[in-house]
Amino acid sequence: MRSTGSESWRSWDWRFHPNLLVTGRLHFPQLALRRRLGQLSCMSRPALKLRSWPLTFLYYLLPFGALRPLSRVGWRPVSRVALYKSVPTRLLSRAWGRLNQVELPHWLRRPVYSLYIWTFGVNMKEAAVEDLHHYRNLSEFFRRKLKPQARPVCGLHSVISPSDGKILNFGQVKNCEVEQVKGVTYSLESFLGPRTNAEDLPFPPASSCESFRNQLVTREGNELYHCVIYLAPGDYHCFHSPTDWTVSRRRHFPGSLMSVNPGMARWIKELFCHNERVVLTGDWKHGFFSLTAVGATNVGSIRIYFDQDLHTNSPRYSKGSYNDFSFVTLANKEGVPMRKGEHLGEFNLGSTIVLIFEAPQDFKFRLKPGQKIRFGEALGSL
């Protein structure tokens, strides 16, 4: 049977011109539409993102998915995670830090701090100084000290909580993967970095998960354990030594400053590996021990009291690198000794503490997932 002119046109159109999209009797030039949306492969990646963002925001905000049909002609919205990762959180946190250091007028301090106390449930009865007029700026208020008797240190257990917060996860490290929250893991090697500098290794760097674990576990029969503690904005912002140990090395990872609240930790894989963090490593009586302070949005400042050379969220450091500092010197061949409960450092606002340590197989945590914990309370013991 002989085809009609219109049928022949449709058949020829579809077979020989794939850049034309046929919908009923309307013909949309797909190539031209892609060019207008900035989706041609010849454009640079930043240009693609810049051209795609306005439509992406509309895609997520407009009712009934008004822009969803555009996906049929090759346009894809920038994902929510990609959008969030591209936010200049380091710059914003740096600006927030400057704002926090601005001295507030005496008459404005009580209403500002009272609003913060009401919003985040701060218990000022535990503060060493309860008078709100004493704190000249928000930074001083965030870093307020507690009364000595407010946090008694448990002496019966070998490892205590280094801070106030919420237990996100804990347990034994398996397959060199650590859970940041239930079901979402990150690589132990990516989080801690190489065991030592490559030039100091008497053997090649770890080439497999098992060999990296063997570099950390120094004693036969021991296992690796981890514990993740999230500090909310209303929590006490200082952190302390969780046990008697010696700090031999500090490793600073400049990085992003994304939020580390539990909801975000479920959303972004390897969040703790992307964020800026300070890893303190050393030894305790059972072998390897480490404490990592993870930065977050508006937490550009991580301070370690005995490390005056540490400067976090600094523009001179680029993301994707790390810098090491050794506390072992000719004069001090062991490092910095820390007693259980001793002041170690502080955050501005809230963030996360991650403990990764070696212990015998009979080490037991005394925790429940999601429980609130305070500095000085027991984490676990043998």
From 52, 163, 164, 226, active-site residue: 164
- Tell me how crowded residue 189 is: count the other CB atoms within 10 A of its CB: 20
Q: Is 351 a catalytic residue?
A: yes
Interatomic CA distance for residues 348 and 138, integer angstroms: 9
Distance, in Å, from the CA atom of 164 to the CA atom of 168, rounded to the nearest integer, reads 12
Question: Token pair 């539409």 is at which residue?
Answer: 33
- What whole-number distance in Å separates Cα of residue 138 and Cα of residue 103? 8
User: In angstroms, rounded to a whole number, what is the distance separating the alpha carbons of residues 318 and 142?
Assistant: 27
Instruction: Please answer whether residues 350 and 210 qualify as being in contact, where contact means their C-beta atoms are separated by less than 8 angstroms.
Output: no
Catalytic annotation, pick one of 237, 240, 252, 286: 240
CB 343 within 8 A of CB 240: yes
Whether residue 164 lies in the annotated active site: yes
In the beta sheet, which residues pair with residue 355? Answer: 227, 291
Catalytic residue among 52, 241, 290, 351: 351
CB–CB of 342/162 below 8 Å? no
Q: Name the residue among 167, 129, 127 with its Cα closest to residue 150.
A: 127
Element holding 323 (H helix, E strand): strand 323-326
Q: How far apart are CA 226 and CA 63, in angstroms?
A: 44
Sequence-distant (6+) residues with CB within 8 A of 22 are 10, 13, 14
**Element spanning 333, H or E:** none
Residues that are catalytic: 164, 240, 351
